[in-house]
Chain A
Amino acid sequence: MKKLILIGLLIVSTISCEDFEGWNIDDKHPGEVSGDYLVTFAQLQMARRVWDMNVNTSCFAMMAQYWTETTYTDEANYDFVTRNQGGNYWNAQYTNVLANLADAKRIIGENPLLSEGEKANQTAIITLMEAYTYQSLVDVYGYIPYSEAIQGASNLVPVYDKDSDVYNDLFTKITSAVNTLKGGGSSFGGADLVYGGDVAKWVKFGNSLKLRMAVRISDVDKAKATTMAGEAIASGIIMSHDESAIFPFQSTPPNTNPMWEDLIQSGRLDFVVSNTFVDVVAPLNDPRAGVFMQDNVVPYDGGPYGANNNYAAYTHIGTQFEDEANGGVMLGYDEAAFLKTEAIARGLISGDAEASYNEAITASIQYWTGSASSAAAYLAQPTVKYDAANWKKSIGTQKWIAMFARGIEGWASWRMYDYPAMNTAAQSQLPVPRRYIYPNAESKINGTNYEAAASAMGGDVLTSRVFWDKGVGN
């Protein structure tokens, strides 16, 4: 009997009460990290949004008609429902970039080891990164969740803000951040892979972004555009390649340039240069042509836009874009110079438009060919030379060329100027969309706000226009 009691006790002792304290802590994943980690990750994601041409996410190279597809032509024909491109781009911007930036801000604010000056600078840089991202979202969709966005559980159904309101608020935030950063001091250091924590360069980035936005709104609010452009130029924009915002993509996965992933790693042959691009660039003797395009077909022959194209028969995208570590330009000297040109041509600021135009094109040639020596001859051609009487055509065409493969800016430029002429997509017979459609899921999970935004914009359709888009289109 004693033995039995012993055994009984043994059983009972194995079944002891547990208060489960600490059981909800995951030993393999951190509950808190340094804000630096999140900022570095967000920069990678920002750059990927510009350079990723995955047909599931960013079809901007086809919005700008730089490229077209070979066999599977849904995206070139602007079908964005099947693969939910609107959702995939939106999700990446909100969850990979904006959510991490907001969280980094919180962590930095709570970090007792940082000086007030560092906190202010780091926060200001994050604000500029957020502004860049929100500005892209407005340009792509129009109305977007902004004032109620990134609030997690406290607001599961954020309202969509009017696109012009978002721009106006971003102007204020950029100005404030730039003013903070002008005070100098240290910020992120190495965790900032774009500028290495150089606050002076971030000031130029902020002003260039402000100038980009000022130029965008000049057809709808010239007064505001004038003020903003003037402030940006006075405070200093990007003036050299050294000041360009370029993300250093790596030569080994997973942090490679996503364009390499799309063109090479995938093993697919989905893209050729479109006839839209070849037809504009080929006659211009452009020194960048050999960088932008391969010479697999002589002379260059672009695939008819939106048609089924035999890969072997048409011009392939330049080998530079097949490089794993091709630089992830987010806002470059060439673009900044074009923005200045546009601001002058539009009368927002004073200056010599032609000189600025030449500077912009030269900057682009320098960047892509490694030398500016061929720029003068190129600029001297009557087809290229700045035409003050038809500056929209000059700037519209040349900026579009300079933005090659950076589809999101090329597409925005085309929406501003409606140059060069684009093709109607061969199979769908659709013109170039004026915006992306919202994520497929939004109508289901944020229905009321989605409906309000869609109806205010004239429908969640490809033909609705972002507030600054007053171009005529084709």
Chain B
Amino acid sequence: MKTKFNGILTLLLAFMVQMTFAQERTISGTVSDETGPLPGVSVLVDGTTRGTETNFDGQYTITANVGQVLRFSFLGMTSTTRTVGAENVINVTMTSGENTLDEVVVTALGIEREKKSLGYATQEVSGDKVNTAKDPNFVNGLSGKVAGLDVKSSGTMGGSANVIIRGYSSLTGNNQALFVIDGVPVDNSNTNSGNQRTGRGGYDYGNGATDINPDDIESLNVLKGGAATALYGSRAANGVIVITTKKGQDRGSKGIGVTVSSSITFNKFNKETMAEYQKEYGAGYGPYYEDDSGYFLLRDVNGDGIDDLTTPSTEDASYGAAFDPNLLVYQWDSWFPQLDTYQQARPWVAGKNDPTTYFELGHTYFNTVAIDGATEKGYFKLGYSNMNQEGILPNSEIIRDNVDFGGSYALTDKFTASIQGSYIKTKGKGRYGTGYSSQNPMQSMRQWWQTNVDVQEQKAAYFQTRENITWNTSDAHLDLSPIYSDNPYWTRYENYNTDGRDRIIGNVALDYKIADWVSVLGRVSLDNYNEIQEERININSSDVSNYQRFNRSYNENNYDIMFNFNKDITENFNLLSTVGYNVRRTSVSSIFASTNGGLNLPGLYSLENSANPITAPTENESKVGVDGIFATASLGFANTLYLEGSVRQDKFSTLPRDNDTALYWGASGSFVFSSLFGNNNVMSLGKLRAGYAVTGNGAPAYSVSNTYTLGTPIAGQPTADLPGQNNNPDLKPEASEEFEVGLEMAFFKNRLGFDVSYYDKTSIDLITPLTISTATGFTSQVLNAGEMTNKGYEVSGWVSPIKTNDFEWRIDVNWAQNENEVTKLPSDLQNILLASVQGGITINARLGQPYGTIEGTNFVYTDGQKTVNSTSTVGSRIGKYLISPTTEVLGSFQPDWKGGINNTFTYKSVRFSFLVDMQKGGEVFSLDQWYGQATGIYPESVGLNDLGNPVRNTVANGGGVILPGVKQDGTPNDLRASMDNYLNAYGYARNPNAAHVYDAGYIKLREISLGYTLPQEWFGGDKGVIDGMTFTAIGRNLWIIDKDVPYADPEAGLSSGNVQGNQSGVYPSTKDYGFSVKIQF
């Protein structure tokens, strides 16, 4: 760390020298509004990239030549321009906006546009919204801040975030929003395996956008609909998040600016999102073991020749004997000769430290140093960030280093070269195992656990011996190998993963101004990374020991050439146009290798340590090319009426040669009707807009023909297997047609405003590896099969109920509702199976239903009442709910609506804000409850019933519970359902799936922050070394105000992607407390 910092200092010095030599004329001044000096106002020299911002006292300094125009702009204020004349001081008073939408936003392909001219919905988020309450994955910081943007974190350290704009529009293809950083597209997909996504184990390695440094983000602009994204053609269907990184600023005589920011965040697991444990009964499944009570095994543990009571070691459940401190039992710690407690019995009581003591206090350090500067010739910036995160699980860590740089230089009056880039190095260790796997401690802790086990004693046993001393051995005393669950500390310290990713994202561009009204831009951009993922299972684990490695390299290049036209045809008539050509080349190369049948030497993780000769590694090579020609033109009339059209033709390498091109287009218009009323104090802005577009989604590589998989030869004979997926030689790309209208209004000098959108999107020809009857010989058939619609409203609005010179209270609201329906499937198919997950649950795209139905067995209803079994000859079924004979739709993972309310209070330099984020509806199936409620670990399985007897007594003995509902004859249920073993009334064995499908809605206090900017006078004002210092205290996810999902966070899941609505061994979410300081020199 020290050497890195020294390096930066050297660079910094070099630049200081450079900057001071620059010779130019300096203009300075103060910008203010009616309330006083205005910090943060953007000052730009028109026609150049040179710009600066006013400081904390509203002061700015910039260099310019006589005759150049300075443009002052600030959100909510009317932009103002001043031509540089003889004076050296230009003071400006800005007026708050009759026209809020003079702001300039970055739209598709990096084209900057005045917001008021746009005929489609975009929503801008400033960088400080994602880099103040800093989440290592900045994407999570967007939740609740943009109407129509659905962000869901999977809930593991470094895990992926699902980012959906305006609903799901592809049945099985990519639905993730496209991120574009300074013109470089960054795919947000993940490389998680199919098993990982469906909850069968594996690690979540995060999503593509995770790598972006939040500290380098100047602003984000969310392009929601097709009309906004049409220029991206075949990548536009899922919406685009355009990220603009920070640029250098002209600081006049100061030369350069240095920004140092540092933050620390602590992550504490949220108890409300973790299992609770009953403390009345211990290990077992029921009374069928060896002693007289049937609850214990009999083993001569202490060697006195007499059999002793021992815990049923193989039984990963808590349906055993009632705790009794007077009963002495030989437990796991008495079976291992390595332990001091060997051969010692102990009282039969609940483990003092239950699994909630397993979590540690996680923390994240985030440090950034950035320098920047600019002259009239150009700017430069260089930043270094280090992120160091330790999770809430033992032995978990992610370290990320980002170097971000950018510069621009005017080689001549007309010719400008620029470069933007980031180098990102990520190293992960001990990511959390996910899903139904021994590598996921939550699997046993939430589903299969013995409540008599003390987690801290397991910890001590592991650290004392470094052996897999588990409570869950194959036999008590006689066979101490693990059967299902390893010691949870062994899992973390022996069976951990490591991973690394080196990534470069960047572009170089040359811009040549042919004439005042036309310029040409050539740009080459790159997103390249190499990653390795290594996974280990040591010898003596419950799973077969293993080492596997996955190496993958990804490269995407985009070559763009664009001609930009901007001409005032008449005084009132402006034409803005871009014509261009884009070449995209993506290649992916990967190799996966694994040991075969175990390891020879313990703790050595290499392929040559394989117990058997390794089978051939799996190699994959793919390349995708898309060539696009595009044009867009916008006509503006008197700053009131705007019309825009875009068209793009894409040619795909992945389609059949004789049919490989597709045409996309969009048209939109806006009418700024407020300009008809002139300046007034009531309506600051009124704008009506409408747009229509056809966008698309390309075909994946190798979708048009089949290949075989070569298998491991048997006795020297080669083998081959037909693929499960039958590809389609007649494939075409997917298309989405979208219509949208919107109304934007602002009142009372911008004290109040709103933006409402309605959209209606139909996605057709959806490329679908359709799950088909395997009697066809294939598991899936690729078809242009489906049609889906998304219709919805988006509302964003703000109001400042109080605004004085010193104080402002501002409320921002975002709300969006999306209605999705699968409207067409091929032939007479009713359903597409997206995933079959554990518990008999399927996730589906069903005709006539919203995408992502969760299907499984349901209750049987009689007159709307749940019906219990009142006639069975099987005693353990009596009084339990009847289960529907076939599976039914139990819900969908898509929410009804999502929204966020943010309140900001500003008093002088103190700023306090809090964000309440909410989701209504959407369902989730909990495998954790499905199993956990059967194994008797949760409090629901104990206590007293209506008779005052322990529910765990047999029904004959007065136990059991009466479930709400009716008997099969329709009369109220009065039958007690047994609760004396795992065939109880609540768990998987005797309950329909529907019992564990929950409403995924929530209300959360997502973010709370308090910031204080120290007065500049403290540092000697203008002459001081320090320009500003800001302290911020933040909290994230501190309070789940309301939720339905028991013992878990409703947002917790497995991975980003199309399989949502399934909780399997999920982790508790964390409450994050942070503190940051930012100093500007």
The interface of chain A, by Cβ under 8 A from chain B, is: 4, 7-8, 11-12, 14-15, 17-21, 23-24, 26-34, 36-38, 40-41, 44, 70-71, 74, 81-84, 90-91, 94-96, 98-100, 102-103, 144-145, 149-153, 155-158, 190-191, 193, 248, 250, 252-255, 265, 267-269, 307-313, 427-429, 439-448
Contact = CB atoms under 8 A, between A and B. Distances in A.
Given A8-B520, A37-B720, A149-B777, 8 more contacts: A20-B651, A23-B653, A23-B654, A33-B708, A248-B714, A429-B873, A441-B773, A444-B844
Nearest to A93: B774
A149 B775 contact: yes
A324 to B, nearest CB: 9
Contact of B561 (A12, A44, A191, A443): A12
Interface string B541-557: 01110000000000000
B314 A24 contact: no
15 contacts: A8-B520, A11-B510, A14-B559, A15-B561, A24-B656, A29-B708, A30-B720, A40-B719, A74-B989, A82-B840, A153-B776, A155-B776, A158-B776, A310-B288, A312-B478
Given A41-B720, A190-B716, A313-B290, A71 B708 contact: no
Contact of B522 (A11, A38, A248): A11
B722 A103 contact: yes
B774 A95 contact: yes
Nearest to A144: B775
A157 B707 contact: no
B474 A269 contact: yes
Contacts of A440: 836, 840, 842, 887
A39 B167 CA distance: 46
A18 B657 CA distance: 12
Given A11-B561, A29-B707, A310 B625 contact: no
Interface in B160-192: none
B636 interface: no
A88 B622 CA distance: 31
A229 to B, nearest CB: 30
A82 B773 contact: no
Interface in B248-290: 285-286, 288-290
Contact of A310 (B290, B543, B657, B840): B290
Interface in B882-929: 886-887
B720 A20 contact: no
Contacts of A310: 288-290, 297, 312
A37 B828 contact: no
A255 B597 CA distance: 11
A448 B828 contact: yes
Interface residues of B, number: 104
Given A14-B524, A248-B715, A252-B596, A427 B773 contact: no
Contacts of B781: 152-153, 156
Interface of B: 285-286, 288-290, 297, 312, 314-315, 415, 474-475, 478, 481-484, 510, 512, 520, 522, 524, 542-544, 559, 561, 581, 583, 596-597, 612-613, 615, 619-625, 627, 651-654, 656-657, 660, 701-702, 704-712, 714-722, 724, 726, 728, 770-779, 781, 826-831, 833, 836, 839-840, 842, 844, 857, 873-874, 876, 886-887, 983, 988-989
Nearest to A448: B828
Contacts of A156: 770, 772-773, 776, 781, 826-827, 829
A307 B294 CA distance: 14
A17 B775 contact: no
Nearest to B699: A24
B315 to A, nearest CB: 6
Contacts of B718: 34, 36-37, 40
**Most A CB atoms within 10 A — which of B583, B597, B826, B844?**
B597
Contacts of A268: 483-484
B773 A38 contact: no
Contacts of B711: 41
A15 B709 contact: no
Contact of A21 (B482, B657, B983): B657
Contacts of A447: 828, 830
Contacts of B709: 29
Nearest to A20: B653
A94 B774 contact: yes
Contact of A96 (B612, B721, B830): B721
Contacts of A8: 512, 520, 522
Contacts of A253: 596-597, 612, 615
A30 B772 CA distance: 24
Contacts of B826: 156
A166 B840 CA distance: 31
A15 B585 CA distance: 11
A151 B778 CA distance: 9
B288 A445 contact: no
A95 B717 contact: no
Contacts of B778: 95, 99, 152
Contacts of A91: 774, 779
A19 B625 CA distance: 10
Contacts of A31: 705-708
Given A31-B705, A152-B726, A267 B712 contact: no
Contacts of B873: 429
Contacts of A307: 288
Contacts of B719: 37-38, 40-41, 44
A15 B581 contact: yes
A366 to B, nearest CB: 25
A33 B559 contact: no
Q: What are the nearest 9 A-B pairs in CB distance?
A: A99-B777, A145-B775, A37-B720, A29-B707, A11-B522, A23-B653, A41-B719, A20-B653, A252-B612
B625 A442 contact: no
A21 B840 CA distance: 45
B288 A30 contact: no
B510 A7 contact: yes
Nearest to A151: B776
A427 B875 CA distance: 9
A190 B728 CA distance: 34
B714 A40 contact: yes
Q: Which of B543, B775, B873 has the most A CB atoms < 10 Å from its CB?
A: B775
Most buried by A among B524, B621, B776: B776
Contacts of A102: 777
A49 to B, nearest CB: 14
B656 to A, nearest CB: 8
A450 to B, nearest CB: 8
Nearest to A94: B774
A393 B287 CA distance: 37
Contacts of B621: 26-28
Given A18-B625, A153-B726, A156-B772, A445 B831 contact: yes
Given A15-B583, A84-B840, A152-B776, A255 B712 contact: yes
A234 to B, nearest CB: 34
Contact of B314 (A14, A83, A311): A311
B596 A95 contact: no
Contacts of B622: 26
Contacts of A308: 285-286, 288
A153 B660 CA distance: 21
B717 A191 contact: yes
Contacts of A309: 288
Nearest to A444: B831
B8 to A, nearest CB: 32
Contacts of A83: 840
B597 A252 contact: yes
A254 B612 CA distance: 10
Contacts of A33: 708, 710, 720
A448 B478 CA distance: 55
Contact of A149 (B286, B481, B720, B776): B776
Nearest to B983: A427
A312 B313 CA distance: 11
Q: Which of B704, B715, B774 neighbours the largest number of chain A CB atoms within 10 Å of its CB?
A: B774
